[in-house]
Structure 1
Amino acid sequence: MKHHKYLIVGGGMTADSALHGIRQVDPNGTIAMICEELHSPYDRPPLTKSLWKGAAFESIWRSQHDMNVAVHIGKKIVTLDPTKKIAIDNVGNIYTYEKLLLATGGSVRRLPYLDENVIYFRTVDDYQKLRELCEQGSDFVVIGGGFIGSEIAAALAMNNKHVTMIFPAKSIGARIYPQALSEYLNSYYREKGVTLHAGDTVKTIRKEGSKISVMTENGMEITADGIIAGLGIQPNIDLARQAGLAIDNGIVVDECLRTSHPDIYAAGDVANFYSPLLEKRIRVEHEDNANVMGKIAGENMAGQSNPYHYQPYFYSDLFDLGYEAIGELDASLDIVADWKEPFHKGVIYYLQNKQVRGVLLWNTWGQIEAATQLIAEKAEHTQETLSGRISD
């Protein structure tokens, strides 16, 4: 049995940020990090972004230098007893703790049938597997038109691969971008050499020699060297549920990131928290949230009482286009587009009851603070009042 003052369940960006948060407050308390992946913590965004643009692979690794932490690689906590403060991993090791953090992240959504020929893109191992395929093959199918699908399709196309995208919506990012922008992305991707099968889904996948054959519901057959699926994630809540913690679209936490048990905290993709800016509970699956929330969770585990009132932003890169965004991006909201250059530079405002709920800064940089303040004002707005309101 191993006792640690702090036990971190998870080994991703949130867990690493929590480690640094603890150490800022408590330089000496013993810490153990239980990491299911066979790697120490690393940054995920480069896996679909900068690593395909020439960034060094070594640049993804996060540092635990002088942190004095016991990192248990390739282990998974499978049993948690909050009353006895005992956690047991998948090989029977027992850990006791004073404070515990659940930074368990999420698991990829999969196609209805399991298929070993599909890379459900999320981890560094997935990236390396795809890189190996790229050394041999030139034809790739990307399933999904959301964040991961659109980014990895662009990354592959920029590396001179022939890419076919398959997704059920009519256009790329249809759930978050206004219709005109989403439809423009279809034509933009086609200009970049990407073949689109919009409004379609995968029916079957089978191996044919060294190639993979994909049949769609609409009767299209595509031959590929590799298939990548970006279908989103589901929060890993099984351990929290087994421990009797409050669950609701993730693990429910208070403003100091405590779960329904006062000595257990949760942060990152898995945490359901209250956003003062949006005045509702949300769960956020992005880097900024992992970094800031993880750090505050660590500080609070070590004795601080810092409320998480922060509203995380998110970003994406799509060929030569890119954006930062904050708040609610939902194509079903009322939308005001303020373009400097249509579809290439501008600001998109998402309104509900005439109040701004979200801001998409399309190729417009350094304006997250201004966008946050605009949402916080809770003022009524029109096309006229928002024209030129934010620009870089």
Structure 2
Amino acid sequence: MLDSYDYVVVGAGMAGDAAARGIREVDPDGTLLVIGREPTAPVTRPALTKKLWTDPDFTFDQVWLATAEDARAELLLGESVIAVDTGARTVTTDADVTVGYGRLLLATSGHPRRLPGVEESGRIIYFRTVRDYERLRDLAGGGRHVVVVGGGYIGTELAAALVQNDTRVTLVHRQDVLTGATFPDGLARHVERRYADAGVTLLRGSTVASAESGADGVTVRLADGAVVEADAVVVGAGIEVETDLARAAGLEVGDGIAVDDRLRTSDPHVWAAGDVALYPDRILGRRRVEHVDNATSMGRQAGRNLAGADEPYDHTPFFYSDLFEYGYEAVGRLDASLETVEDWHEDGFGAGVVYYLDGGRVAGVLLWNVWDATDRAREVLAGQTDVRTEALRGLIR
């Protein structure tokens, strides 16, 4: 290792990988170090809950992003940065390694949200990393029983993936109807029926009080006193973003690390990108987004700006999920408590668009089995002033 680098990227996820590539688009020769807390190199993280389980043509070798080779970056893995000294322009890891930087990117993302009474062990997995995927693969299949905790993106994807891979699945979630906090009631009930038809046992409105791992299985106790015996537990309850490092360094922090439209923080030599960045979206206003399109597009732009491009981040990201034969893309805010206008193109929730309304404007667009329409959804979010049902239906086909 060098004592100092032109560019240091803290975070070896998809935003960090994209940033390294963005740096190389502008500066092919500057020294570049990427530091990651995970012991493995950057991977395409969505594949860990989707393609690796459901696409027989997608192999494990395809998850690796080849950051070191493609971006000519040095990787320091298995170490966490515990301090940033913005005056000296150095970062220090938990292995007592200190390196200097010319320009720094914080792409720290976050840690899986922990549940009280549920400690991670060999059979209890807080799902996040490629090593978590490997552990879950070892514990699944062969008719084994896995309890999935969480009804959000990760939990629903894992439950669908596991039940399609010869695994009995019990899905524990807080909602009265699975996906009911996100989708209109009719669509949510349709999705829930699909899980039940696939053989997933749904424990609605439930929370886990404790889970104890033994040599041969896991005992899960719910808050209502019910007990579930299983071979493994996998928790997908979201992440807690890592802002402590930035706060301790004196950077401006809110619900994330505050950045301007160039993704620069309150320090002129430090940028932030990905899950952790609180940025000014040109259509939707200041926000923080925890999805892959934002990580890769924002990471690339941050990298370019570290290398001197000085370009605005003007991309409004979309997000997506795959659940059995269903797939969707969305832009903006999906909140079932908002008024919605549904425009179904095929009967039985086969394909259609849902518009979410807030304060007389379109706040979110769900594209259910509708593809290549995210740009049109952004146009609707940016400029649609007539939100009557008859005006919205037919806008996106």
TM-score tier by shorter-chain length is over 0.9
TM-score (norm 2): 0.96
Q: Distance in 1 between matches of 2:236 and 2:349?
A: 24
Q: Distance in 2 between matches of 1:25 and 1:274?
A: 24
CA deviations over 1:124-164 (Å, ceiling 9, x no partner): 11100000112566111111111000000000011121111
Cα RMSD, aligned residues only? 1.3
**Residues 78 and 137 (structure 1), Cα distance of their counterparts in 2 relative to 1, 3 Å cut:** farther
Q: 1:381 Cα shift?
A: 1.3
Other structure's SS at 1:24 match: helix
Q: 1:258 Cα shift?
A: 0.4
Q: Distance in 1 between matches of 2:182 and 2:71?
A: 40
CA deviations over 1:287-339 (Å, ceiling 9, x no partner): 10010000000000001111111100000000111100001111111101111
Q: Provide the residue aligned with 1:248 in structure 2.
A: 254
Q: Provide the residue aligned with 1:327 in structure 2.
A: 332
Counterparts of 1:150-229 in structure 2, within 5 Å, are: 150-229=156-235
Whether the 8 Å contact between 1:256 and 1:300 is mirrored in structure 2 is yes
| Structure 2 residues without counterparts, runs of 5 or longer | none
Q: Distance in 2 between matches of 1:160 and 1:136?
A: 6
Other structure's SS at 2:331 match: strand
CA deviations over 1:15-53 (Å, ceiling 9, x no partner): 010001000100111111111111111110000000002
| Structure 1 residues without counterparts, runs of 5 or longer | none
**Greater shift after overlay, 24-33 or 183-192?**
183-192
Q: 1:114 Cα shift?
A: 4.1
Whether the 8 Å contact between 2:341 and 2:355 is mirrored in structure 1 is yes
Q: Provide the residue aligned with 1:8 in structure 2.
A: 9
Q: Distance in 2 between matches of 1:136 and 1:157?
A: 11
Other structure's SS at 2:228 match: strand
| Equivalent residue letter for 1:165 | L
Whether the 8 Å contact between 2:82 and 2:92 is mirrored in structure 1 is yes
- Among 83, 86, 95, which residue is 1:82 paired with? 86
User: Paired residues, what number?
Assistant: 390
User: What percentage of residue pairs aligned between the two structures are identical?
Assistant: 42
CA deviations over 1:172-212 (Å, ceiling 9, x no partner): 12221112211222211101110101011112222355121
Q: Distance in 1 between matches of 2:73 and 2:213?
A: 44
Q: Distance in 1 between matches of 2:297 and 2:38?
A: 22
- Among 62, 82, 88, which residue is 1:59 paired with? 62
- Among 119, 123, 128, which residue is 2:129 paired with? 123
Counterparts of 1:215-294 in structure 2, within 5 Å, are: 215-278=221-284, 280-294=285-299
Other structure's SS at 1:342 match: helix
**Residues 353 and 380 (structure 1), Cα distance of their counterparts in 2 relative to 1, 3 Å cut:** farther
| Equivalent residue letter for 2:212 | R
| Equivalent residue letter for 1:96 | G
Other structure's SS at 2:349 match: coil
CA deviations over 1:100-142 (Å, ceiling 9, x no partner): 0001011110111242242111111110000011256611111
Other structure's SS at 1:277 match: coil
Q: 1:255 Cα shift?
A: 0.4
**Residues 190 and 18 (structure 1), Cα distance of their counterparts in 2 relative to 1, 3 Å cut:** same
TM-score (norm 1): 0.97
CA deviations over 1:52-101 (Å, ceiling 9, x no partner): 02220011110232532211111211111101101111111110111000
**Greater shift after overlay, 234-243 or 336-345?**
336-345
Whether the 8 Å contact between 1:137 and 1:225 is mirrored in structure 2 is no
Whether 2:365 is the aligned partner of 1:364: answer no
Other structure's SS at 1:79 match: strand
Q: Distance in 2 between matches of 1:212 and 1:30?
A: 48
Whether the 8 Å contact between 2:283 and 2:316 is mirrored in structure 1 is yes
**Residues 187 and 143 (structure 1), Cα distance of their counterparts in 2 relative to 1, 3 Å cut:** same
